Amino acid sequence: NNMLEIKGLKVKLEDEDKQILKGVDLTVGAGKVHAIMGPNGSGKSTLSYVLSGRDGYEVTEGSATLGGEDLLELEAEERAALGLFLAFQYPVEIPGVGNMTFLRTAVNAQRKARGEEEMSAADFLKVIRAKAKTLKIDADMLKRPVNVGFSGGEKKRNEILQMAMLEPKMCILDETDSGLDVDAMKLVSEGVNALRDAGRGFLVITHYQRLLDHIKPDVVHIMADGRIVKTGGPELALEVENNGYADILAEMA
């Protein structure tokens, strides 16, 4: 059971009296790709941050579970070990830590948390080289410090490489397409599609329908003002592309 289940989730900023999520209900089943679209400032990134365990937010009501485990009770690393992966809108740079070393540490930490044996250096090298190749990540990018001096597109491809290496149960992609040119978006989409699997769910946050031409969602949600206000199939993304959010929001009001 790798299902992500969010019920009545309300979140405010820790340091300010500002409510951001106002009751989010969302269930993503294993094998499913759900997209979340919505105007800027509607709380999409906040939702992904809260699920991944980032500091600065306070959950005032509701629940979030992955495979029945209460995510909100766990530290960020424990959530990752449980199989939650978040690809950030702005991937972090880690000066001084080689990309490959970082990935090997992350993979082995996760295997350890799952009670599995470490991957041998030789096996790791074989796997990472193969996955890097499909994402057009060259040997030099694997050696350089994590994301330092990487272009926007390289950072996003590197995020997908991390995801591919960690083999998570639930992947959240927060505007992984923003700032990508068409070729980079295709590579990223192909990387995601290669990971689609009956046991793995995806939550794809995006502003643009064009990403959803490449990563075909099963379900599309529209988020506005801290809530999911509409849910439908892929046609909902096309409706947004053609008419913007105004019609949907007016319909809700």
Which residues sit at the interface with ligand ADP, rule CB under 6 A? 13, 20, 38, 40-46, 56
Residue number, 12 or 104, with CB nearest to ligand ADP: 12
Residue number, 167 or 241, with CB nearest to ligand ADP: 241
- Please report how close the Cβ of residue 248 comes to ligand ADP at its closest, in angstroms: 15
Binding mask 105-144 vs Mg ion (x if CB under 5 A, - otherwise)?
----------------------------------------
Residue number, 2 or 45, with CB nearest to Mg ion: 45
Burial status of residue 192 (CB atoms within 10 A of its CB: 0-12, 13-18, 19 or more) = buried
Conformation bin of residue 41: beta by default, left when phi > 0, alpha when psi is -120 to 50? left
CA distance 236 to 100: 40
For residue 40, state whether it binds Mg ion (rule: CB under 5 A).
Answer: yes
* 190 Cβ neighbours under 8 A, 6+ residues apart: 134, 214
Residue number, 85 or 88, with CB nearest to Mg ion: 88
For residue 48, state whether it binds Mg ion (rule: CB under 5 A).
Answer: no
Residue 232 interacts, among Mg ion, ligand ADP, none and using kind-specific CB cut-offs from 5 to 8 Å, with none
Q: Which secondary structure element, helix H or strand E, spans residue 145, and what is its range?
A: strand 145-146
- Please report how close the Cβ of residue 49 comes to ligand ADP at its closest, in angstroms: 7
- Please report how close the Cβ of residue 59 comes to ligand ADP at its closest, in angstroms: 14
Instruction: Please identify which residue in 2, 42, 45, 147 interacts with Mg ion, judged by CB under 5 A.
Output: 45
For residue 126, how many C-alpha atoms fall within 13 Å in the half-sphere facing its CB?
5
Residue carrying the six token digits 């096996």: 123
Residue number, 50 or 84, with CB nearest to ligand ADP: 50
DSSP 8-state symbol, 177: T
Burial status of residue 167 (CB atoms within 10 A of its CB: 0-12, 13-18, 19 or more) = middle
Question: Can you give the binding site for Mg ion, defined by CB under 5 A?
Answer: 40, 44-45
